[in-house]
A and B are shown apart, each in its own frame.
Chain A
Amino acid sequence: MIAQGDEAAFGELFYLYLPRLKPMIYKMVKTEAVVNDLLQEVFMHLWLDREKLVDVESPSRWIFRIMFNRTLNWLEQQAVRSKARQQFNGEVHSNETEQQLAFAETSRLVQQAIAQLPPQAKSVYILSRQKGMKAQEIADKMGLSLQTVKNTLVRASKAIREHLVRHGILLPLLLLNFFSRQ
């Protein structure tokens, strides 16, 4: 359901994992100010790449995998920056503007990807994400079969995802035999 864009289901997942991820991230970054930035980044990845939550064998493990990836990535970047700045008692600050600019950039790329969808796919996607219509409602409104609508939504998400991978926002698929749900 999440893969089809069900926001309520994702919301439940968000509140379910928040209490577990937050202290784990804190144990690694050790700075309160950064934790929420990373939590947002992690859940943003999970949402934009939501197909995985359905495809993978263990959604729970996938969630932690992304959490480790974003957190360790940030720690690596920080370490590189600290070395460059030669700070010895490195106070780490949450650079709010940086976070906002990165978020704005992701948002812009998503809108770009949406604009590039073929016309029918774009209409289906708009009805689903902007008007909040369910797949059956869209099928009725546009005179398409339910299956066509579902497939279109999945393909649209994939197209957006691929666009984001191409621009270095999302992570590329490293493993091919990883995604089999028996």
Chain B
Amino acid sequence: MTIMPNENRLNYLLVQVREGKATSAEYGELRDMLYADQSGEMVAQATSFFSGEEEVITEDARYRHMLQQILAIDKPTIVYSSARRPLLRIAAAVLLLIAGAGLYFILQQKQPVHQPAIAQIQDVAPGSNKAVLTLADGSVVTLDSAGNRELQQGNTAVKQLGGQLQYDVQGNSGNTSYNTLTTPRGGQFKVKLPDGTMVWLNAASTIRYPTAFVSNERLVEVTGEAYFDVAADARKPFLVKAGNGTMVKVLGTAFNINAYTDEESLNTTLLSGAVQVSRGTSTVLLHPGQQARLTSKMEVVDNVDLDKVTAWKNGVFNFEGATLQEVMRQLQRWYNIEVVFEKDVPSIHFFGEVSRDMTLSGVLKTLEESGVKFKIEGHKLVVTP
């Protein structure tokens, strides 16, 4: 049997790659050889060479997020100015958009085709999985997406894998001890509580919880924003304390609580199940799709845009109907920047979604279509209406 010279070469290259001995030229050669392979036989051979046991995928949330980001990449993001702006201004904004797009296109053509994108010098990277865990004894552990560790808190094993913390109760605990998970601006994290409840923590937020739920109720405390997927346990109601004496009582359910102190109201939004929200003597029972808004009084709103409320947890900014200030507050927390308004804030409303994984300039580019101008100066964002 005669072996074609190509096959010999292919085999040699495959082995070099497997052994980690290939040179840069050899990597390039194999890459081009496989891409240009007409019949597909070489691709088949390489596939079989590197195939092995399928890996069981465990990090569901991570891959779900990856998939969502990929699908979001070619979703159009559109932004417009509110009708309150004088017509002339709107026309000018539209012209600017067309002119801007045209100009940009022309500028782009000057660049050689295969040049990789050169990032702007002034840009801000998006947030990532970052948090600080304060243990019962006061010691502090810094967590980030590269981490992988285990520690013990009494009879509870605490495991960290990348952006998620997990609590596994191994035996009966004596005293209850508390841990606090804190995300900085530009951070986010996930924690699986001792009862199996999943919590997503947004930027600049905290959650305080016991290392084992021993009493006849499960009580945690939250500041900032968190999304809960509560594990069902009829014997032990799940309670969330937030803000000024607000208590959310939960019975096997999924909800989002936004308790950022710089937002207009403390919002609890129910996605599924049932919750009871109370403060002082006011109590409301929520049904899925409803939101309890707490200011000085308690209000219940129906048919809330659930996509908008949980967008952050799904890796996107949802700016549907948001004012410029609201948008800036979200950017402040995720990019850890300071926002400065040059003049009076215009009443502009936005709509659309943008991936949270973009750098700041990427997000600002879509917002600029409304006519507002932005300038990044280090970690400060100057807004000129």
Q: Which A residues are closer than 8 A to B by beta carbons?
A: 7, 10-11, 14-15, 18-20, 22-24, 27-28, 30, 33, 36, 39-40, 43-44, 47-48, 57-58, 61, 64-65, 68-69, 72-73, 75-76, 79-80, 83, 96-97, 100-108, 110-112, 114-116, 122, 125-126, 129-130, 160, 166-168, 171, 174-175, 177-178
Pair B78/A126 contact, Cβ less than 8 Å:
yes
Pair B73/A48 contact, Cβ less than 8 Å:
yes
Pair A40/B70 contact, Cβ less than 8 Å:
yes
Q: Which of B57, B114, B116 contacts A18 (CB 8 A)?
A: B57
Pair B31/A100 contact, Cβ less than 8 Å:
no
Alpha-carbon separation in the docked complex, A27 to B46 (Å): 12
CB contacts under 8 Å to A, within B337-385, are: 352-353, 355, 357-359, 361-362, 365-366
Any chain A CB within 8 A of the CB of B214?
Answer: no
B125 proximity list for chain A (CB < 8 A): 97, 100-101
Q: Contacts A19-B54, A108-B365 given: A64-B43 contact, CB under 8 Å?
A: yes
Q: Contacts A23-B54, A28-B50, A68-B31 given: A108-B362 contact, CB under 8 Å?
A: yes
Chain B residue, CB-CB nearest to A60: B47
A100 proximity list for chain B (CB < 8 A): 125-126, 357-359
Chain B residue, CB-CB nearest to A171: B35
Chain A interface, DSSP helix/strand/loop, else mixed: helix
B126 proximity list for chain A (CB < 8 A): 100
Pair A125/B27 contact, Cβ less than 8 Å:
no
Of listed A11, A103, A116, residue having the most chain B CB within 10 A: A103
Q: Contacts A72-B31, A112-B104 given: A39-B66 contact, CB under 8 Å?
A: yes
Q: Whole-angstrom distance from the CB of B144 to the nearest CB of chain A?
A: 10
Pair B117/A72 contact, Cβ less than 8 Å:
no
Chain A residue, CB-CB nearest to B47: A64
Q: Which B residues are closer than 8 A to A by beta carbons?
A: 17-18, 20, 22-24, 27-28, 30-31, 34-38, 40, 43-44, 46-47, 50-57, 62-63, 66-67, 69-71, 73-78, 97, 101, 104-105, 108, 113-117, 119, 123, 125-126, 128, 145-146, 352-353, 355, 357-359, 361-362, 365-366
Pair B70/A47 contact, Cβ less than 8 Å:
yes
B17 proximity list for chain A (CB < 8 A): 28, 72, 75
Q: Whole-angstrom distance from the CB of A48 to the nearest CB of chain B?
A: 7
Pair B38/A19 contact, Cβ less than 8 Å:
no
Q: Contacts A36-B66, A130-B352 given: A166-B113 contact, CB under 8 Å?
A: yes
Pair A79/B359 contact, Cβ less than 8 Å:
no
Pair B113/A43 contact, Cβ less than 8 Å:
no
Chain B residue, CB-CB nearest to A30: B20
Of listed B18, B76, B114, residue having the most chain A CB within 10 A: B76
Chain B residue, CB-CB nearest to A105: B117
B18 proximity list for chain A (CB < 8 A): 27-28
Q: Whole-angstrom distance from the CB of A22 to the nearest CB of chain B?
A: 5
Pair A167/B108 contact, Cβ less than 8 Å:
yes
Q: Whole-angstrom distance from the CB of B11 to the nearest CB of chain A?
A: 15
